[in-house]
Structure 1
Amino acid sequence: MAKAMKIAIVDDEQDMRQSISQWLALSGYDTETFASAEDALKALGPDYPGIVISDIKMPGMDGMQFLKKLMGSDSALPVIMITGHGDVPMAVEAMRVGAFDFLEKPFNPDRMTELAKKATNARRLTLDNRALRRELSDGGQLMKKLIGSAPAMERLKEDILDLGQADGHVLIDGETGTGKTLVAHALHAVGSRAGKKFVLLSCAAWDEDALAKRLFGPMLPEDSQLPAVEEARGGTLVLEDVEALSDSLQARLLSFINDQGTPAETRVVAICNMQEQDRTCEDALRSDLFYRLAALRITLPPLRQRGEDILTLFTRLSEQFADEYGCETPQVSAQEAAQLLQAPWPGNVRQLINLAERAVLQSRRGSGTIASLLMSDHEDMQPVMTTEGKPLKEYVEAFERMLIDNTMRRHKGSIASVMEELCLPRRTLNEKMAKYGLARADYL
C-alpha cells in the first residue's frame, strides 16, 4: 500500500502545533512538529516525503525566510503558510515566492485537511516522477526489470549491454507488449550517453504536420520545447512506432542521420511495432532508412517463448500488486501454472501485468481463480491441465521451481521453514535449489 505522506508542522506556539497535529493524524497523516524554523530545516531535505505547514510569524527565522530556504533546497516542496488576520498581502508574497497555498487564522480545520490532501497528492506525484527519472537513468536498475532466465532473455540482456556501448543507430522490433520501450531506456542507460538527454517521441500520436514540427521544427515562438532532433542533441532520440512516419518524414529522418556522419552525435533508436499480418518493419520503411537503422537490431522474444519466465514474472507482478492493494499474494495451483505456461499471450508481458492485477483484486474479494481469468482471456483454452506443446516434465519442473522460489521469498531464506512447509529433507532441497539456480543469499 502507498505509504502515508508526512506533514511537518512548524509553529512556535505549542498549543497550535499540537492541535494541527492531532487533527491531521485523525485524517491518516504521519505528522511531526517543530517549534522553530531552524529545527525544521535540520530535518527537511530536498526529497522530504511529505509537505510543510508553517506559521508566518515566528521568532528568530520567520515563515518567509523559512519558505525561501525551503524553496532554495526543493522548489517543488508544497508549503502551506498560516497567516494572521490582516496578513493577506504577506500571504500573497508567500505565494509569489513559492508557497503552495495559505490559511488565514482562524481557519476551518476541514479546509486545512482539504489543502493537505491536495498538497500531499502533488508531492507524491513529484516524488514518483523523481524516482522514475532516477530509475530510468540507472542501467543496473533497468536491467533488473528485465526479469527472466530463458535463453532468449539472456541473449537480450547481452545484446543490450553490447549495443549500449556502440555508437550506431538501433532498430528495436517485436510483438506488442514485449517491452520495447523499456529496452530503449536500458540501451541509453548502460551506454556512453547515460546522463545525457533521452527524448521519446511517439510517431503514431501526431498528425503529419504536427509530427514534422515536433520532430524537425520550426517550432512556433510560443512553444517552450525545442524540436526533438535539437532537444536530443548529444543523447538519444527514441522514435516509437517509426513505421507510422510518412514517406516525406522518412526521407527527412534519413537526411538527419546521414548528415551526422560517424560516430553519430545523436543516437536514433527506432521502435517498430508492426501488428499487421504478413508485414514487417522492412516492408513499412524505405529500404535506405531501414538499413541505416537496422545495422544494429534487437528483436524482443514473445512471452510464449520464454518458458518458466512466465511463472517468475507472474509471481513478481502478483507480489507487487498485493503489496499495493494491501492483501495476500494469490497462490498458483499446479493446473493454473500449466495453463499460464500454455497460454498464447498475444498481448505478451503487458497482458500478463493486467492478468496479475486482476488475480490480486479477485483474490482480495475471495472469489474467482487464475484459471477463470485465463479462460476469459483465451476462449480456446482447455480448463484442464494438458501437455500440449511441451513435455509434462517441463511443466512439473517449472511449477516446482516456482513453488520453491515463492516459499523461499515468503520465509526470507529460512531453509528450516521452507523444509517444513514443503516437507523436504535438507539434501533434497539443496539439490533442487542448485538444479533451478536458486541461491539462499538472494532471499535474505
Structure 2
Amino acid sequence: MAQAMKIAIVDNEQDMRQSISQWLALSGYDTETFASAEDALKVLGPDYPGIVISDIKMPGMDGIQLLKKLMGADSTLPVIMITGHGDVPMAVEAMRVGAFDFLEKPFNPDRMSELAKRASNARRLTLDNRALRRELSGGTQIMNKLIGASPVMERLREDILDLGQADGHVLIDGETGTGKTLVAHALHAVGSRAGKKFVLVSCAALEEEALAKRLFGPMMPEDTQLPAIEEARGGTLVLEDIEALSDTLQARLLSVMNEQGTPAETRIVAISNLQEAGKTSEDVLRPDLFYRLAALRITMPPLRQRGEDILTLFTRLSEQFAEEYGCEAPQVSAQEAAQLLQAPWPGNVRQLINIAERAVLQSRRGSGTIASLLMSDHEEMQPVMTTEGKPLKEYVEAFERMLIDNTMRRHKGSIASVMEELCLPRRTLNEKMAKYGLQRADYL
C-alpha cells in the first residue's frame, strides 16, 4: 500500500469501535473513531482521504441518515454499513442510498478487511483523478479563487493574465493578508511556465547564512535539495519578504538575474510584505534590484476598497466553514452587512477568513454577533468604521444583492422558491438580478 488510507469508524458502542479499529490498524490503515454520526460529520468532508465504516442503528442520527448526508457531500465516498442479523430491508435501503457494501453482524474480520481494501482502492482512484483534473485546470482554479466583481478585482485579474503571459520578473506588494502569494501562484499557472517548477522561499524565515545556502548553494554531499535558483530553473522562483534580503544577498540575486539575460531562464516573483509605516520596497531594496523587479508590478488592493466583494467573500467563506463544521451558515442581517462593509479590515482577506470561521462557530452555538467579532479583533476601534463614508443607497444595494445571491444559492436557482421567500414578483426579481449581474444559470 503506497500510503495508508484513513478509515473513519462510526459506532455508538465503544467495544465495537475499538475492536474494528485495532483489527484494521493491524492491516496498515490509519483509523479514527467516532461515537456518533454528528461527531463524524464534523470531520468527514467531500475530499476525505479515506473511507467510512458505520453502524446503521445508532441513537440520534442513525447510519442511514449519516449515509445520506455523506452522499450529499461526496457521492463517491465509499461507506460500508454494519447491519444487525436479519436487517435485510435496512441493508437494501443503504445500498439504494449509495453505500459501497454492507457487513452483517456477527461479521468475519477477514471479510471486513477485504471490503476495506476494495473500498480504499476505489477511493484512492477517485482522489487521484480529482487531483489530476485540478492540476490540469490549475490556472482556471486559482483564478476562480480571486473572488470579486469590484473594479479593482477586475483589473487585478486582467493584470495577472497580461503579466502571466509576459516573461519578465515581477514585484507584488500591498498590505498584509491581501493574497499576494495566491497571485504569485496565479501568475505561474496562467503563463507559459505552468508545467514547470514553482519554488517558494520565505526570505524572512531563515538566518542570512542559511538563506544564502538555500538560494544559491553550494550543495554539500549530504544535501538532498538543490539550491532554489537551480531547483526553479526554467520555472518560477517566488521570494516572499524580499525586503528581508541583506545588501550582500541582494547583490548576489542581482548578479544571478544579470547572468540569465533576457528573456530570463527562471522567472523571479518578489513579494514585499513591509509592515513599517511610510516605507516601501523601493526604500529598502538597492535601486538596480528594485527596478529590475518592479518593471512588472502588481499592487494588491486592500479589502476595504473592494466594496460588495466583502459580502460575497464573507458568504462564500461562511458557507465553506459551515460545510466543514456540519452546520448551517449564519444569516447576515442588514445591520451586520453594513458593519462588514464599514469595517477597516487591517488584516484584509486573512482577517475576513478568521471572522467568517468564528461567525460560523458562534452561530453553531447560538450566540454572539459579527459586530462583537469585529470589535474583539480591534477593541481600540470605536466605532468599527472606515474613515470613508458611503451613501445609504450603496449599503442598501449591497445588502440586497447579497440577500438575492444567498437565496438563489440556497434554492439552487429555483426562481419560484426565491420569489416566495423574498416576497417578490417575478418581474421585480428579474430586474434586480439584471441590475446586480446575477444569472440563474450560475446557481443550477
Match of 2:194 in 1: 194
1:284 Cα offset (Å): 1.0
The alpha-carbon distance between structure 1 residues 247 and 324, as it changes in their structure 2 partners (threshold 3 A), is same
User: Matches of residues 214-293 of structure 1 in structure 2 within 5 Å?
Assistant: 214-293=214-293
Match of 2:72 in 1: none
Match of 2:359 in 1: 359
Match of 1:429 in 2: 429
Contact 1:135 1:142 in 2 (8 A): no
1:221 Cα offset (Å): 1.3
Contact 1:419 1:425 in 2 (8 A): yes
1:283 Cα offset (Å): 0.2
Match of 1:440 in 2: 440
Take 1:373 and 1:132, find their aligned partners in 2: how far apart are those partners?
39
1:375 Cα offset (Å): 1.9
User: Matches of residues 9-408 of structure 1 in structure 2 within 5 Å?
Assistant: 27=33, 50=50, 131=131, 134=134, 138-379=138-379, 389-408=389-408
The alpha-carbon distance between structure 1 residues 26 and 299, as it changes in their structure 2 partners (threshold 3 A), is closer
Which one-letter code corresponds to 1:247 in the other structure? D
Take 2:183 and 2:167, find their aligned partners in 1: how far apart are those partners?
16
Contact 1:136 1:142 in 2 (8 A): no
1:6 Cα offset (Å): 5.8
Take 2:132 and 2:350, find their aligned partners in 1: how far apart are those partners?
19
Contact 1:136 1:185 in 2 (8 A): no
SS of the residue 2:335 aligns to: helix
Which one-letter code corresponds to 2:180 in the other structure? K
Take 2:133 and 2:222, find their aligned partners in 1: how far apart are those partners?
27
Take 2:274 and 2:384, find their aligned partners in 1: how far apart are those partners?
34
Take 2:210 and 2:304, find their aligned partners in 1: how far apart are those partners?
38
Take 1:384 and 1:252, find their aligned partners in 2: how far apart are those partners?
46
Take 1:391 and 1:132, find their aligned partners in 2: how far apart are those partners?
47
Scaled by the length of structure 1, what TM-score is found?
A: 0.72
Contact 1:235 1:267 in 2 (8 A): yes
How many residues in Structure 1 have an aligned counterpart in Structure 2? 347
1:216 Cα offset (Å): 0.1
1:323-343 Cα deviation digits (max 9, x unpaired): 000000001111110010000
The alpha-carbon distance between structure 1 residues 217 and 186, as it changes in their structure 2 partners (threshold 3 A), is same
The ranges of structure 1 where at least 4 consecutive aligned residues each deviate by more than 6 angstroms after the TM superposition are 19-26, 383-388
The alpha-carbon distance between structure 1 residues 230 and 357, as it changes in their structure 2 partners (threshold 3 A), is same
Contact 1:319 1:329 in 2 (8 A): yes
Which one-letter code corresponds to 2:212 in the other structure? A
Q: Percent identity?
A: 87
Contact 2:342 2:384 in 1 (8 A): no
1:257-276 Cα deviation digits (max 9, x unpaired): 11100111100000001110
Take 2:50 and 2:174, find their aligned partners in 1: how far apart are those partners?
41
Contact 2:202 2:240 in 1 (8 A): yes
Contact 1:178 1:348 in 2 (8 A): yes
The alpha-carbon distance between structure 1 residues 354 and 239, as it changes in their structure 2 partners (threshold 3 A), is same
Take 1:441 and 1:362, find their aligned partners in 2: how far apart are those partners?
33
Structure 1: gaps (5+ residues): 8-18, 30-46, 53-108
Take 2:280 and 2:173, find their aligned partners in 1: how far apart are those partners?
9
Contact 2:203 2:211 in 1 (8 A): yes
1:220 Cα offset (Å): 2.0
Take 1:332 and 1:221, find their aligned partners in 2: how far apart are those partners?
59
* CA-atom RMSD in angstroms: 3.4
Which one-letter code corresponds to 2:169 in the other structure? H
Match of 2:62 in 1: none
1:370 Cα offset (Å): 1.2
SS of the residue 2:204 aligns to: helix
The alpha-carbon distance between structure 1 residues 266 and 136, as it changes in their structure 2 partners (threshold 3 A), is farther
Match of 2:14 in 1: none
Structure 2: gaps (5+ residues): 9-18, 25-30, 36-46, 53-108
1:378 Cα offset (Å): 3.1
Take 1:418 and 1:339, find their aligned partners in 2: how far apart are those partners?
25
Which one-letter code corresponds to 2:443 in the other structure? Y
The alpha-carbon distance between structure 1 residues 48 and 321, as it changes in their structure 2 partners (threshold 3 A), is closer
The alpha-carbon distance between structure 1 residues 269 and 162, as it changes in their structure 2 partners (threshold 3 A), is same
SS of the residue 1:408 aligns to: helix
Match of 2:56 in 1: none
Contact 2:236 2:269 in 1 (8 A): yes
Take 2:240 and 2:133, find their aligned partners in 1: how far apart are those partners?
19
Contact 1:201 1:239 in 2 (8 A): yes
The alpha-carbon distance between structure 1 residues 385 and 296, as it changes in their structure 2 partners (threshold 3 A), is closer
The alpha-carbon distance between structure 1 residues 363 and 262, as it changes in their structure 2 partners (threshold 3 A), is same
SS of the residue 1:205 aligns to: coil
